[in-house]
Copies of this chain bind each other. A is one copy, B any other.
């Protein structure tokens, strides 16, 4: 599972800490997801989707 969070975050000029706050998760969680350490939960994926105004499929790519 790949994601475009780092780029989308850059487009909105947000720091990891700012994004984390808007998502109500820790900064480390944002960092870990960006770095591909693990995938977010589905609810968190929906939050990202709504925050960035993109579909989940536009943000995450399944690499099976």
Contacts and interface: CB of A to CB of B under 8 A. Distances in A.
Interface of A: 1, 39-43, 45-46, 49-50, 55-57, 60, 62
Given A55-B55, A56-B57, A62 B43 contact: yes
22 contacts: A1-B43, A1-B46, A39-B41, A39-B42, A40-B42, A41-B41, A41-B42, A42-B42, A42-B45, A42-B56, A42-B60, A43-B62, A45-B45, A45-B56, A46-B60, A46-B62, A50-B62, A55-B55, A55-B56, A55-B57, A56-B56, A56-B57
Contacts of A46: 1, 60, 62
Given A1-B43, A46-B60, A55-B55, 19 more contacts: A1-B42, A39-B41, A39-B43, A40-B42, A41-B41, A41-B42, A42-B42, A42-B45, A42-B56, A42-B60, A43-B62, A45-B45, A46-B62, A49-B57, A50-B62, A55-B56, A55-B57, A56-B56, A56-B57
